[in-house]
Structure 1
Amino acid sequence: MEPKYELMCKRMMDRLAHRGPDDVGLRQAGQTWLGHRRLSIVDVDGGHQPLANEDQTRWIVANGEIYNHLDLRKTLSSHTFRTQSDNEVILHLIEEAGPSAIVRMKGMFTFVVADSEGKLIAGRDAIGIKPLYWARQGQTVLFASEIKCFDEAWRPFVEEFPPGHYWTSDEGLVAYAKVPAPKSTPSLACSSETPSEAVLSRIRETLTRAVERRMMADVPVGVFLSGGLDSSLVASLASRIAKREGRQIHSFAVGLEDSSDLVAARKVAEFLGTCHHERMYTPKEALEIVPDVIEMMESFDPSLVQSAVANYMLAELTAAHVKVVLTGEGSDELFAGYKYHKSIESQAELHQELVRSVGDLHHLNLQRCDRTTMAHGLEARVPFLDLDFISLALSLPVEWKLHGPGQTEKWILRLAFKGYLPNSVLWREKEQFNEGSGMQSVLREKMGDTVPADEFAAERNVLTPPLATREEMAYFRLFQDRFCGVKIPNVSGRSNVAFAI
């Protein structure tokens, strides 16, 4: 194989050093170069990648976690495992039953398998929690976890690899999974007007199992704690699980001095007995890191940037104490938690919007979550996006998610976890992380002021749909400076409700 491909692989790996500060591996398998930057979480000492099968004819590089890997190992007794790594399970599962068998894995993952005969298999989890991009020219195919990995000459060819798909050099792209949702709109036809205790119990039990799965690690696990409902529920469940094991969970918060998120997070931390850490930032600090955050996040969507700046600082704080953190991503999409959901009166329309928004998370909130944490060598895990919990949440009658007069959003979720949080937090009205942390007020005006009104009017139609505000154009310009040549529709999501949430 030409030396240029080995050198290209090394360059791509160097651009990913932040994602895997613990270890680095490079291997040629047939006609393929496999490279890996490792953040060591499971089998810290023995999980070096690329990983090989028994006779070293197949190799794998993988990113993410397989939470049911111990159960899957029991079904693969004909194979000899060399490590305790959850990613070795992926390799043997594919050898045993083919790439379609990855539907049996519970977790977040991307992977590439190469064999000595030149065949390739790549795959991504159903929701797209972990990122994967690819670029194809002729017979050459490149894969990477971030856009910035690709050499400039390859940028016009870069595309996001779709969630819930695998690709093989023989079959091409194959869909194996999608958002687990009923085809018809769930309604009260077969349910009571208010949820029964059995329903509430099922919500509690399913989310608890999701949190338990995501506490699987050989390193310390913490929680982001904004003081809002979603992160507070995850913190409550994680704290209960840790206490059963004789441990204290660490929680982390960030915001302007006396911002509502910091105040609420302190209250929750005291109630739960977590070891709480917080960071207060100044408006000047926030503005200074915007260019770095856009480069790291690989997006210019205003709602994402506003929350990403605070998340970037939060992840930096967290990474000094733990290597894995649980977050509250996904709850708003499952239980209609955004402000714009209030304007949707049709049950069918609301259900369709929730399913769509869960399916779009991979290049919006999940992209922000992944990039801001992995920028600091920190792995984020998202219990609300456990496939079992998604399936349950999207099967609940949509009437239980509609916002009635005087009714707080996500009331069914709040009802299910009565007693798990202080009432003032359990029934606290929704604030976006960028609002509660104070970030929205800092960025919107200041960044918008960097774009003159006449330039905005002249240039806003450069994209479809047009750039919505001067603030968005400011972020777009920073993105263009760093990712010139990238075709935005192929790699980036844009929120349809950036200023309505």
Structure 2
Amino acid sequence: MCGIAGIFHLSTPKPVDPARVERMCDAIAHRGPDGKGVWTAPGVGLGHRRLSIIDLAGSPQPMASTDGRAMLVFNGEIYNYRELREELRKGGAMFHTDGDSEVILAAWQRWGVDCLSRLHGMFAFAIYDLGQRTLFLARDRLGVKPLFLAPLADGSVIFGSELKALTAHPLLRREADPLAVEDYLTWGYVPDSRSILKGVQKLPGGHYLLLRHDAPMPQSVQWWDVSFAERRKGSTADLEAELLHLLRQAVTSRMAADVPLGAFLSGGVDSSSVVALMAESSASPVKTCSIGFDVAALDETGYARQIADRYHTDHRSRTVSQNDFTAIDDLAAMFDEPFADASALPTWRVCQLARENVTVALSGDGADEALAGYRRHVFQRNEDRLRGLLPLGLRRPVFGALGAAYPKADWAPRALRAKSTFLSLAASSEEGYARSLSVTPPELRDRIYSPDFQRLRGDYRGEQPLEELMRRAPARSGLDRAQYADLKFWLPGDILTKVDRASMAVSLEAREPLLDHRLIEFAASLPEPLRTQAGQGKWLMKRTMRRYLPDDILYRPKQGFVTPIAEWFRGPLAAEARAIGEGAALARTGWFESGAVAEIAAAHIAGRVDNSRLLWQLLMLDRSLGRLGVAG
């Protein structure tokens, strides 16, 4: 796991200053504290920061191919590199290292862009081919590893693993994109379709770019997609056996490392499944770690301990205080772009705990998206059945009126919180799912935006890209389309961004076995009843893991990392809440009505409504804009 950065001239191949590339790499030194390197040639410069995981001393980067005709910088892991190396060797390739980087170079020289479909793993890399005078940028199928890029006024394109690598370049403009602010307020993160800075792009997961000297900036090309259009046939027992095989294969392939390896263990189904399968194939106790809160209702460490005892793991846990909000500025620095998933804080803390003993940690991320594990998936399937019975022309006025009249009862039991359900049923399947997934609904965003910002935003709404993604999905049903959107939009924008930044901030490699693409493709083909059944998500996975996990782990309500931000904004952060609308960076933008923000804060502090997620969004936006020095 590493950090990469570089400069490529699309126009005349001008000399590249190595010191400029080095500064870009130094900005992401936390991603690779074990080594660094820079290589330049006319019109191109590649930089690398290394976190040594495999072939600790033998694979420095930038790396040249055996014949010296290609140069590579690479962030990630290729889990099938040994098999590929043997195949390439039989075809005449020569290797001088024992790592996966040299295999990528040989695969590029043998197969060109088609090498991507042969790589199993997580990666973002750049290859400069001296013979073809091209720069090949590629990102893994699901976007586990990030890659930012931006064309500059001097005719160059810069790229890097994090936005801070790009902001280290003096020619990058720091002007905020108002549409990215709308996206951020909608989702709590800036999705891969946009960046907080105008002109900066993110190469989407499953895409590549092939840049040439003396040629214009091309569009990215999609090289992988997941289809929900087919349905797997077979008995439940056969599909269960196939799923178990894929789970074992995914976990064991990610246990290869030349450094200490462990796992995150929350006590939920996914991380517990990963730990169980690790223990099954490990000769020594698995190193596990978990984070809890000093608020009993939010603490899951007891469930984690139950699994640790069951599999005799070498387990460590740590309690995070309610007063851990002092890390707000650290989070803003870590993510660069505004990022308001409050579970980033405990994720960072568990990464810090893991890094004390291991360099690689396996996580349970991805199963909810692939196997329909969220409550919203169950709701989507049920709501679509009702949508199929009543035409939109009838649903929109009836349920729209009910949704408008029903109070927002955050304090009530879940069964009585019908407002969002009514509003969802009043909309199309895509609109309803976007509402269920979004953080701040459009009517609340409109309430806090200033007239000037509303003019900048125009007709654009943050929900539109997700709705369009669902409409174009290779899918059969509303549930299919919802899961497709999760995998292509929510997962890389929120979950994978959170884990990447939090782990790399402490120089820890996080691996996601449940995002093995073979497992994802299998899950997408499952009949709907094997995904959701009797109000339960991940039905087949839970059935498959019964031999490993007890029912109180498999069937307890999903919780995940929950941060007590609602209590913070009514207690130690109450003054921050009152001042958010007049925060230095936010006030300079003129984007928000400070009076409306103050009313929202006052209502939350008084306990009349839970506005903590919006307040957290605005607080993190203020901190991020301040750190980036962004002009509104």
1:111 to 105, 114, 125: 125
Change in 2 beyond 3 A, CA 1:80/1:29: farther
Change in 2 beyond 3 A, CA 1:153/1:85: same
Which amino acid is 1:296 matched to? M
| 8 Å CA contact 1:448, 1:472 repeated in 2 | no
Q: Does 1:34 align with 2:50?
A: no
2:290 to 238, 249, 253: 253
Percentage of pairs with the same residue: 31
State the partner residue of 1:68.
80
| 8 Å CA contact 2:15, 2:44 repeated in 1 | no
**CA offsets per residue over residues 97-145 of structure 1, 9 Å max, x none?**
1123211110000111124464211111111100111111253111100
Residue 343 of structure 1 and its aligned partner are, at CA, apart by 2.0
For structure 1, the residue ranges without an aligned partner over 5 or more in a row are: 488-501
Count of residues in correspondence between the two structures: 466
3-state SS in 2 of match to 1:450: helix
Greater Cα radius of gyration, structure 1 or 2: 2
| 8 Å CA contact 2:15, 2:43 repeated in 1 | no
Which amino acid is 1:411 matched to? W
Superposition map of 1:315-354 within 5 A? 315-344=351-380, 345=382, 346=384, 348-354=477-483
| 8 Å CA contact 2:148, 2:201 repeated in 1 | yes
| 8 Å CA contact 2:14, 2:43 repeated in 1 | no
2:304 to 261, 265, 276: 265
Whole-angstrom CA distance in 2 between matches of 1:96 and 1:410: 40
Residue 261 of structure 1 and its aligned partner are, at CA, apart by 1.4
3-state SS in 2 of match to 1:76: helix
State the partner residue of 1:146.
162
State the partner residue of 1:177.
223
Superposition map of 1:33-432 within 5 A? 33-77=45-89, 78-116=92-130, 118-137=133-152, 138-150=154-166, 151=168, 153-154=171-172, 155=174, 156-170=198-212, 172-183=218-229, 186=231, 196-242=236-282, 246-257=283-294, 259-284=298-323, 286-302=324-340, 304=341, 306-344=342-380, 345=382, 346=384, 348-360=477-489, 361-402=491-532, 404=534, 407-432=535-560
**CA offsets per residue over residues 22-51 of structure 1, 9 Å max, x none?**
111111244311111000001011011111
Residue 90 of structure 1 and its aligned partner are, at CA, apart by 0.9
Whole-angstrom CA distance in 2 between matches of 1:166 and 1:175: 5
3-state SS in 2 of match to 1:482: helix
| 8 Å CA contact 1:100, 1:176 repeated in 2 | no
Change in 2 beyond 3 A, CA 1:53/1:267: same
Residue 411 of structure 1 and its aligned partner are, at CA, apart by 2.7
Q: Does 1:13 align with 2:25?
A: yes
Residue 441 of structure 1 and its aligned partner are, at CA, apart by 5.1
Change in 2 beyond 3 A, CA 1:55/1:410: closer
Which amino acid is 1:179 matched to? D
Q: Which stretch of the first structure deviates more once superposed, 120-129 or 255-264?
A: 255-264
Whole-angstrom CA distance in 1 between matches of 2:377 and 2:336: 27
3-state SS in 2 of match to 1:321: coil
For structure 2, the residue ranges without an aligned partner over 5 or more in a row are: 1-12, 175-197, 386-476, 583-591, 598-611
| 8 Å CA contact 1:448, 1:471 repeated in 2 | no
Structure 2 length-normalised TM: 0.69
Residue 440 of structure 1 and its aligned partner are, at CA, apart by 4.8
Q: Which stretch of the first structure deviates more once superposed, 139-148 or 251-260?
A: 251-260
Whole-angstrom CA distance in 2 between matches of 1:249 and 1:50: 33
Change in 2 beyond 3 A, CA 1:486/1:97: farther
Change in 2 beyond 3 A, CA 1:354/1:459: farther
RMSD: 2.6
Whole-angstrom CA distance in 2 between matches of 1:229 and 1:298: 31
Change in 2 beyond 3 A, CA 1:420/1:455: same
Residue 313 of structure 1 and its aligned partner are, at CA, apart by 0.9
Residue 402 of structure 1 and its aligned partner are, at CA, apart by 3.0
